[in-house]
Amino acid sequence: MNVENIVREHLAETLGYSSEQSKELKLDADLFDHYGLTSLTMVMLMTTICPAAKIQLSALTDRDVAKLHTPQDIINLIDEKLAQTEGI
Protein backbone atom coordinates (compact mmCIF):
# COMPACT_ATOMS: atom_id res chain seq x y z
CA MET A 1 0.00 0.00 0.00
CA ASN A 2 1.40 3.40 -0.87
CA VAL A 3 1.74 6.24 1.63
CA GLU A 4 -1.07 8.31 0.14
CA ASN A 5 -3.49 5.41 0.52
CA ILE A 6 -2.35 4.81 4.09
CA VAL A 7 -2.90 8.46 5.00
CA ARG A 8 -6.28 8.58 3.25
CA GLU A 9 -7.45 5.35 4.92
CA HIS A 10 -6.42 6.35 8.43
CA LEU A 11 -7.62 9.95 8.15
CA ALA A 12 -10.99 8.71 6.90
CA GLU A 13 -11.19 6.27 9.81
CA THR A 14 -10.28 9.03 12.28
CA LEU A 15 -13.00 11.25 10.81
CA GLY A 16 -15.58 8.47 10.80
CA TYR A 17 -15.71 8.33 7.01
CA SER A 18 -16.13 5.21 4.91
CA SER A 19 -13.36 3.72 2.77
CA GLU A 20 -15.12 5.08 -0.31
CA GLN A 21 -15.13 8.58 1.18
CA SER A 22 -11.38 8.37 1.74
CA LYS A 23 -10.92 8.83 -2.00
CA GLU A 24 -12.67 12.20 -1.75
CA LEU A 25 -10.41 13.64 0.95
CA LYS A 26 -8.62 16.75 -0.22
CA LEU A 27 -4.90 16.41 0.33
CA ASP A 28 -4.39 20.17 0.48
CA ALA A 29 -7.16 20.84 3.04
CA ASP A 30 -6.17 21.97 6.52
CA LEU A 31 -6.34 19.14 9.03
CA PHE A 32 -7.50 21.41 11.83
CA ASP A 33 -9.70 24.03 10.14
CA HIS A 34 -11.20 21.90 7.36
CA TYR A 35 -11.29 18.45 8.96
CA GLY A 36 -11.65 19.58 12.58
CA LEU A 37 -8.76 17.61 14.03
CA THR A 38 -7.52 18.54 17.48
CA SER A 39 -3.99 18.05 18.74
CA LEU A 40 -5.16 14.84 20.45
CA THR A 41 -6.79 13.41 17.31
CA MET A 42 -3.68 14.35 15.36
CA VAL A 43 -1.53 12.31 17.75
CA MET A 44 -3.99 9.41 17.51
CA LEU A 45 -3.91 9.65 13.71
CA MET A 46 -0.13 9.54 13.61
CA THR A 47 -0.06 6.56 15.99
CA THR A 48 -2.08 4.60 13.43
CA ILE A 49 -0.31 5.88 10.31
CA CYS A 50 3.25 5.18 11.47
CA PRO A 51 2.88 1.42 12.05
CA ALA A 52 0.90 1.06 8.82
CA ALA A 53 3.73 2.81 6.96
CA LYS A 54 6.30 0.69 8.82
CA ILE A 55 8.07 3.55 10.56
CA GLN A 56 8.56 4.10 14.28
CA LEU A 57 6.48 6.85 15.84
CA SER A 58 9.63 7.79 17.73
CA ALA A 59 11.23 8.69 14.38
CA LEU A 60 9.03 11.80 14.34
CA THR A 61 10.20 14.84 16.24
CA ASP A 62 8.02 17.52 17.80
CA ARG A 63 9.24 19.83 15.05
CA ASP A 64 8.13 17.30 12.38
CA VAL A 65 4.65 17.04 13.84
CA ALA A 66 4.32 20.82 14.24
CA LYS A 67 4.77 21.18 10.46
CA LEU A 68 1.80 18.94 9.65
CA HIS A 69 -1.10 21.05 8.44
CA THR A 70 -2.51 19.03 5.53
CA PRO A 71 -2.77 15.37 4.56
CA GLN A 72 -0.12 16.08 1.90
CA ASP A 73 2.24 17.27 4.65
CA ILE A 74 1.80 13.89 6.38
CA ILE A 75 2.48 12.04 3.11
CA ASN A 76 5.62 14.08 2.50
CA LEU A 77 6.90 13.52 6.04
CA ILE A 78 6.29 9.77 5.94
CA ASP A 79 7.97 9.54 2.53
CA GLU A 80 10.95 11.47 3.91
CA LYS A 81 11.24 9.20 6.96
CA LEU A 82 10.96 6.08 4.83
CA ALA A 83 13.72 7.36 2.54
CA GLN A 84 15.93 7.99 5.58
CA THR A 85 15.39 4.48 6.94
CA GLU A 86 16.07 2.92 3.53
CA GLY A 87 19.33 4.85 3.34
CA ILE A 88 20.62 3.33 6.57
pLDDT in tens, 62-79: 999 999 999 999 999 999
Domain span at residue 27 reads: 3-86
Residue 29: partners with Cβ closer than 8 Å, 6 or more residues away: 35, 70, 71
Q: Which amino acid is at 29?
A: A
Tell me how many domains the chain contains.
1
The tens digit of pLDDT for each residue in 16-53 reads 999 899 999 999 999 999 999 999 999 999 999 999 99
Query: What's the start-to-end Cα distance of the chain, in Å?
Result: 22
Cα separation values, 49 from 38, 58, 85, Å: 16, 13, 16
We report the CATH number of the domain holding residue 17 as 1.10.1200.10
The pTM score is 0.93
Q: For residue 70, which amino acid is it?
A: T
